[in-house]
Structure 1
Amino acid sequence: MRSRLFPGAAALALAACLTGLTACGSSGSSDDGAGDGADAAKPAGLTVWIMRDSVSDAFLSRFRTDFEATHKGTTLDIQIQEWDGIGQKITSALASKDAPDVMEVGNTQVAQYAASGGVKDLTGKVADLEGADWIPGLAEPGKIDGKQYGIPWYAANRVVIYNKDLFAKAGITTPPKTRDEWIADTTKLNTGGDDGIYLTGQTWYALAGFIWDEGGDLAVKGADGSWKGTLDTPQAKAGMAFYKQLQALGKGPKDSDEAKPPQADVFAKGRSAQIISVPGGADAITKANPAMKGKIGFFPIPGKSADKPGAVFTGGSDLVIPEASRHQAQAYEVVRALAGATWQTDMAKTMSYVPNRTSLAGVLAGNPGASVMAVGAANGHATPNSPNWAAVEANNPIKQYMTQVLTGADPDAAAKTASDAITKALNTAS
């Protein structure tokens, strides 16, 4: 499943990572040779699957040349995969005896694939990979039942894109840093026919962030292994109440998401002061209206206090090693290189992604949108780590709940109905 919120080729790759698919762990051992020095030194022909537009051809060329030069006799066959239909292709490959050696997968898809038993447990390599420095919201989806199957590769999350001219017109010289400031500024902006914010009624990833800020979640796993939808908790209701307050300060439709119509097209008309989007949304805005160039700014989604940005969903990709790889030790060397500081820095600068390590956020300092995204990533989260989360999104009761609340339905009854639907979906065998 894919959310179509990201303009541009590289951004489309991230779109596949911003919906949640999760599952349980596999039975692979964490220390059966991957990365052992002697085995890793043996020459091998490795097959690596990378998703279409995740990184540029130039980046891959540089990486291949360097890796082969530093691992004499080893060659990399980097095969580009299409997002459409990739789920079944990966599932089939993991079940085969001739799987590729390294695969890129959407970070929230790791658990789904690990459930098959075909993904190698790399828990024993986390320290070697400096896992303590990983962005939590990107690392968490790759960790199932205490075992690390997916190694974080790159991240992206939403920020607030704003119209500098409209902010100046309203006398706002500094972007808000707290929710209270955000509401006050958006109220000032919502005058004279301008939209204080263009926020649709079903931008549910933004709602998830507000719920996380309140200490709630979309669903939780009980001690008995069962799942329960939690939109009816006080914390989730508080997040929805804030969403309703913010959404009312604009003219966004209450019964659709940010793709209907494309919010970048709406913002490009110059009458909306803000949208919640990945920074790449700015490219779509200027493409739709070149006159907007130079008028676009970015700031992190504000949190409840100025010392911490608002919570955001962290999308991105992980690297996994199939159990069926014939060269697991050498495959680990590929993962270690791609996830290491050198190539993380190169990729961040090349692709404007947030690197997998919090200590590398500074490499984006010269990129206004990406550097703001990196600030928000420090408070990144993931969707519930259930093997059936895809079933929730298929008939998304969260969107239905949001529209009901925004159009006057009893919020308590709507929250209970949505929570029950989530509970049923998460506890139904797939």
Structure 2
Amino acid sequence: MQRRYLGLAAAGVATVMAAALSGCGDTAATGDVTLRLVAADYGNSSENSSQKYWDRLAADFEAGHSGIDVDVKVYNWNEVDTRVADMVKHGNPPDMAQIGAYADYAAQDRLYSADELLSIPNQADFIPSLAEAGEVHRVQYGLPFVSSTRVLFYNKAHFAKAGITQPPRTWDELRDTAVALKRAGVPVPYGLPLGPEEPQAEALNWILGGGGGYTDKIGTYTIDSDENIRTFQWLRDEMVAKGLTNPHPAKTDRRDVFSAFTQGKVGMLNGHPTLMGMAEKNNVDYGMVPLPGRRGTSPATTGVADWMMAFKAGGHRAEVGKFLDFVYSKKNVLEFAEQYNLLPVTNSASEAMRGNRKNRSLWPFLEQLPSAEFYPVNKQSWAPVAKKLKLTIGKTVEQGGDPASVLAELQREADASENASPS
């Protein structure tokens, strides 16, 4: 890792430029700078909106950094990526954006790299698997902000009623457990969300358990691999066809099965940390275990990360770097993760979370983070591939569905998108 350049010479040049550009934007002759950040909202009401977190964080930062103000606009996940894209399109990108993907902007050479922004200790503090997921051609442009992994949730009351004493560790045990739950009258033994909301996560959970993945170890798409085909054939024949899941997985979204689980209608499902609070609010007594795999516990689980990035256009590299060093302090990383039941992205905050028993419900997710598999978000081609996957992956498990055909179509889309992307 390179040491970012924040020497006095650069600061002097920035001051001269500020004076020369006194009529442009917020870079006034006084040398004062206002950094603009667009961020996603992780709350579900005005009471726990992320705007409150950012306003407090900005105020704390400004108190110790005279001459730098931070203006934060928070939008919900349905619009935040589009907001940033529109700002970029109209030549007015924010200084920073905390959104879902960074690869397009990195490919367009619009972003500062991590080593141009962060101090060496902060850059080295990122969990390695997350830092790697933020790299394009081995240069880190995406700064992981928060993350999550997946575990198998199960309803303890349903298990007890069905006489099940151990949660499943293999796919065959999962099927047999689902059969017992169905006999005990559980409406949906296993909740399978392959509808268009977020099927890429559920699909990845399954193909990882089957020894496959979206890409191989060198990043080549392997969507139509034999392992992946066999995974969806098993899921179609052993779970869906036998009535052990919700009736129409291709039309069922994650929020649907989460809601059904909290209502006591689902026996098992793959879930992330947010489901804990939802279940507890509805007094559901649940357990959590690692995901089952074909022959044993799955060798990996799905990891999902959201990203911070810094745009070059504003020219405020030094000021942005100071603010991001503050954002990625152990205290601030841990505070945000705890507030929203998410996982911290740095080693120091992870160790702090692991050392505090009030966070013990998050430990099963935290333990899996170093070995989690992430979407290939460092590929510019991933966005169109994911869009098509959302609309088609559910067809693999429909009655009469042909996994080989569906996955081959996705592979062609992936290859075409990859070839069309800048090298």
What TM-score, normalized to structure 1? 0.75
Query: Which protein has greater RCO, CA pairs closer than 8 Å, 6+ apart?
Result: 1
Counterpart amino acid of 2:39?
Answer: M
Partner of residue 53, structure 1: 41
- What is the 5 A alignment of 1:178-193? 179=171, 181-193=173-185
| 8 Å Cα contact 1:112-1:387 kept in structure 2 | yes
Deviates more, 1:90-99 or 1:193-202: 90-99
| 8 Å Cα contact 2:194-2:253 kept in structure 1 | no
Please state whether the residue corresponding to 2:380 is helix, strand or coil.
coil
Partner of residue 379, structure 1: 371
- Distance between the aligned counterparts of 1:299 and 1:71, measured in 2? 45
- Distance between the aligned counterparts of 2:414 and 2:232, measured in 1? 16
- Distance between the aligned counterparts of 1:411 and 1:349, measured in 2? 40
Structure 1 residues 215, 271: closer, same or farther in 2, change over 3 A? closer
Q: Deviations over 1:85-105 (max 9, x none)?
A: 544543454477754332212
| Aligned mate of 2:265, from 256, 271, 278 | 271
| Aligned mate of 1:389, from 379, 382, 405 | 382
Structure 1 residues 38, 230: closer, same or farther in 2, change over 3 A? closer
Measured after TM superposition, the shift of residue 138 of structure 1 is: 3.4
| Aligned mate of 2:320, from 331, 338, 341 | 331
- What is the 5 A alignment of 1:19-418? 33=5, 39=11, 44-54=32-42, 56-91=50-85, 93-94=87-88, 99-106=93-100, 109-123=101-115, 128-177=120-169, 179=171, 181-194=173-186, 195-202=188-195, 203-219=199-215, 229-244=221-236, 245-247=238-240, 248=242, 250-259=244-253, 262-284=256-278, 292-302=282-292, 311-361=300-350, 363=353, 365-367=357-359, 369-384=361-376, 385-396=378-389, 400-418=392-410
- Distance between the aligned counterparts of 2:396 and 2:298, measured in 1? 28
Partner of residue 27, structure 2: none
More helix by share: 2
Measured after TM superposition, the shift of residue 218 of structure 1 is: 2.1
- Distance between the aligned counterparts of 1:221 and 1:371, measured in 2? 27
- Distance between the aligned counterparts of 1:62 and 1:277, measured in 2? 31
- Matched residue count: 390
Measured after TM superposition, the shift of residue 205 of structure 1 is: 1.7
Structure 1 residues 419, 154: closer, same or farther in 2, change over 3 A? same
Q: Deviations over 1:257-293 (max 9, x none)?
A: 442881133224423211223232355556xxx7x41
- Distance between the aligned counterparts of 2:170 and 2:382, measured in 1? 31
| 8 Å Cα contact 2:304-2:375 kept in structure 1 | no
- Distance between the aligned counterparts of 2:116 and 2:401, measured in 1? 50
- Distance between the aligned counterparts of 1:46 and 1:178, measured in 2? 54
- Distance between the aligned counterparts of 2:300 and 2:8, measured in 1? 38
| 8 Å Cα contact 1:300-1:375 kept in structure 2 | no
Structure 1 residues 155, 176: closer, same or farther in 2, change over 3 A? same
Structure 1 residues 360, 301: closer, same or farther in 2, change over 3 A? farther
Measured after TM superposition, the shift of residue 233 of structure 1 is: 1.4
What TM-score, normalized to structure 2? 0.76
Please state whether the residue corresponding to 1:276 is helix, strand or coil.
strand
| 8 Å Cα contact 2:162-2:180 kept in structure 1 | yes
- Distance between the aligned counterparts of 2:175 and 2:302, measured in 1? 21
Partner of residue 28, structure 2: none
CA RMSD, 1 decimal: 3.8
Q: Deviations over 1:314-356 (max 9, x none)?
A: 3332222211233211211111221221211111222221000
Please state whether the residue corresponding to 2:183 is helix, strand or coil.
coil
Measured after TM superposition, the shift of residue 45 of structure 1 is: 2.7
| 8 Å Cα contact 1:162-1:297 kept in structure 2 | yes
- Distance between the aligned counterparts of 1:303 and 1:406, measured in 2? 21
Structure 1 residues 246, 37: closer, same or farther in 2, change over 3 A? farther
Task: Find the structure with the greater CA-based Rg.
Answer: 2
- Distance between the aligned counterparts of 2:8 and 2:257, measured in 1? 49
Counterpart amino acid of 2:162?
Answer: A
